[in-house]
Structure formats: C-alpha cells, structure tokens
C-alpha cells in the first residue's frame, strides 16, 4: 500500500508569503501530502485561513497546529481549555518536569516535544512514557538539530534521542519524526528523513511509520474528534431526529 507522508512541524514566516510559498512548493515536490505549521496560541483565525489556502493551492493537506510553552501545570490546563477546539494538533514543549508530567497524562495533548539539547534538561523517561501510554500523546522528534549540529553537541543529542526513543517504543508510544525547519534547503525527502531516524534507533518499517502512518493517524483521529457528530471515543451522532 502506498504511504501518505506527513511533516507535522514546518516553521513558516507569516510575514513573508514568498518564502512561505517556496517552502510549501519544496515540501510538495519532495513527496509530502500532509503538512502542519507551527502557530502560537495568539494566532488569529485569518492567519490560519491564509496558510490553509496557500497549502491548498500547492496541493497539500493543511493541518492547524499550535505549540504550547506553558510555565506551569495550571498554565498548561488553561491553554488546553481555551485552544483544544481551535487546532487539529496540540504540541506541548516540555521545558520543566512538572509540565512534562501534566502534558503526558492529559488526553488533550497530541505531541510531546523536548526542546533542550542538554540531557540534564530533557524530561522524557520511563515515568513520563508510562503516563503518556495512558493518554493520546506521541513523542515528536525534529530532525533539524541533526542537520545543523556537529561535534560533541550532536553526539550528546543523539545519545539522548536513542535513549528516549527506546523508552517510547517500550511503552508503545507513537514516534513522530518531523522536520522542524523553516528553510527549503534543510528539507529532506520522506525516505531520507526516515533514514536519519536510524541514527536514533528507528529502522525499517518503524522509521517509515514515523513519517507516515503515525502522524497521519494522529491527524485523522483528531479531525474525527473535532467533527460535529463526535460525542466520545466510539460514540458518534449519525442522525438527530425530532423529539416525539
């Protein structure tokens, strides 16, 4: 079966339509079908509509994504209450252990991201993975650092990723590999991105799933939840009749 490839973390510049068009053209040319771009919680609906239209013009299936950087558990809970129905994908940047634990167990969070390169400030461990396994969150890895880092920093970052991906797989968490890039020159073909995933412990079908099946299923599941007929997992309003 032909795979549908997805990049759930493009960084577009909303103030530069020409650069955005170049980036989207390159994504389509490389063979991706589904793309998500990173919006801030303050993004206006018009910004999202404009990017959706730009993706449609190129031939890409646009996914709205918000990246949250909460300072505390309460901050995260307030953001999730306000934004869950506005975006198809919610990613939480886990910059403290408390935020990481709360994000992992909250069913409204789709992706967990760990932005720090230093292993001392990365909080994905077995306890985190166990919490996430009871929710819906996947573990996202951006390949951009692998393309721009070198020397000991790159080696240490890869070491952290290998350990974290092994834990994610042990607890059956979906791993999503995204680009995290804003420049066309840093984009790679989907199968090249999957090959890069081999550097941190994903290989073969698992690596390909991380750039196709895992992100695609996440998007389809969330679109179902955001549809008008959704009530709860497994429960959907098919037809609403008149009261007797």
- Quote the pLDDT of residue 240: 60
CA-CA distance, 81 to 77, in Å (whole number)?
6
Residue 241 lies in a domain: no
Whether residue 1 lies inside any domain: the answer is no
- Provide mean pLDDT across the span 221-227: 88
Q: Is the pLDDT of residue 45 over 70?
A: yes
Task: Measure the CA–CA gap between 122 and 118, rounded to whole angstroms.
Answer: 7
131 touches 101 (CB < 8 A) = yes
Q: Residue 182: which CATH number?
A: 3.20.20.140
Q: Check whether 233 has a pLDDT greater than 90.
A: no
Q: Is-contact 117 157, C-beta < 8 A?
A: yes
Q: Quick check: 232 pLDDT over 50? A: no
- Gyration radius of the chain over CA positions: 18
Instruction: Tell me what the mean pLDDT of segment 38-47 comes to.
Output: 93
Q: Is 195 domain-assigned?
A: yes
How confident is the model at residue 243, as a pLDDT?
55
pLDDT at res. 29: 98
> How many residues are present in the chain?
244
Whether 140 is covered by a domain: the verdict is: yes
Q: What residues make up the domain containing 145? A: 6-224
To the nearest 10°, the Cα dihedral for 103, 216, 170, 67?
-20
Task: Please check whether residue 51 lies inside any domain of the structure.
Answer: yes
pLDDT at residue 242, rounded to an integer: 59
Looking at residue 200, the DSSP 8-state letter turns out to be G
CA pseudo-torsion sign 107, 145, 62, 48:
positive
What's the confidence (pLDDT) of residue 72? 96
- C-alpha–C-alpha distance, residues 3 and 213, integer Å: 7
Number of compact structural domains in the chain: 1
Asked if residue 237 belongs to a domain, the reply is: no
- Residue 228's pLDDT band, with cuts at 50, 70 and 90, is low
**88-97 tens-digit pLDDT:** 999 999 999 9
C-alpha span between 169 and 131 (Å, rounded): 14
pTM of the model: 0.90
Is 232 a domain residue?
no
- Give CB contacts under 8 A, 24+ apart, made by 106-110: 106/76, 106/77, 106/80, 106/135, 106/137, 107/135, 107/136, 108/80, 108/84, 109/80, 109/135, 109/136, 109/137, 110/136, 110/137, 110/138, 110/218, 110/222
Tens of pLDDT, residue by residue over 118-155, are 877 888 999 999 999 998 899 999 999 999 999 999 99
């Amino acid at each position: 079966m032909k795979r549908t490839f997805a990049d759930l973390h493009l960084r577009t510049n909303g103030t530069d339509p020409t650069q955005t068009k170049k980036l989207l053209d390159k994504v389509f040319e490389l063979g991706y079908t589904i793309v998500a771009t990173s919006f801030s919680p303050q993004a206006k609906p018009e910004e999202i509509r404009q990017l959706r239209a730009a993706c449609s013009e190129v031939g890409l299936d646009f996914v709205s994504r918000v990246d949250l950087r909460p300072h505390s558990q309460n901050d995260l809970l307030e953001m999730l209450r306000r934004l869950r129905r506005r975006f198809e994908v919610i990613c939480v940047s886990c910059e403290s252990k408390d935020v990481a634990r709360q994000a992992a167990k909250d069913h409204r969070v789709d992706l967990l991201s760990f932005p720090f390169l230093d292993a001392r400030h990365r909080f994905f461990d077995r306890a985190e993975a166990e919490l996430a396994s009871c929710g819906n969150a996947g573990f996202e890895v951006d390949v951009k650092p692998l393309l721009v880092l070198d020397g000991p920093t790159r080696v240490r970052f890869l070491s952290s990723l290998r350990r974290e991906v092994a834990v994610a797989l042990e607890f059956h968490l979906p791993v999503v590999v995204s680009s995290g890039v804003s420049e066309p020159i840093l984009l790679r073909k989907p199968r090249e991105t999957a090959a890069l995933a081999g550097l941190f412990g994903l290989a073969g079908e698992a690596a390909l799933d991380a750039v196709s099946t895992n992100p695609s299923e996440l998007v389809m599941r969330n679109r179902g939840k955001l549809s008008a007929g959704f009530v709860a997992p497994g429960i959907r309003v098919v037809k609403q009749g008149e009261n007797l």
